A = this chain, B = another copy of it.
């Protein structure tokens, strides 16, 4: 039997996917992909308070998607591409298996019956 991580019971994956499930946080990711930025800089485009943005940043940091550094009174945020790569690796590990399944099924059906069967699903 696969271990907990292989079955998907990883709290860090919970945090990372949850962090991406919000348009504000995805906007922060998009901005940070072009370089580091402070909370005030990140908050500027959004119609919410700086405190709310600060909370979003903590969600991203707890998920490991960003890191903070110190520059005087400023605490710039930096994207952590390695964490993003882990997410695509998780998704792709199942996507590729499923696509291989579909290819095998297509091949089998074509060999058994050249007539396309109608499936009740949409």
Scoring A20, A23, A79 by chain B CB atoms within 10 A of each residue's CB, the highest score goes to: A20
Contact, CB under 8 Å: A33 / B91: no
- What is the CA–CA distance of A80 and B15 in the complex, to the nearest angstrom? 23
Interface size class of A (residues with CB under 8 A): 35 or more
User: Quick one: which of B70, B87, B101 contacts A33, CB cutoff 8 A?
Assistant: B101
Q: How many copies does the complex hold?
A: 2
**B interface footprint on A8-32 (CB within 8 Å = 1, 0 otherwise):** 1110011111101111011101101
Q: A residues touching B (Cβ–Cβ < 8 Å)?
A: 6-10, 13-18, 20-23, 25-27, 29-30, 32-35, 67-71, 78-79, 81, 84-85, 87-88, 90-92, 94-95, 97-99, 101-102, 119-122
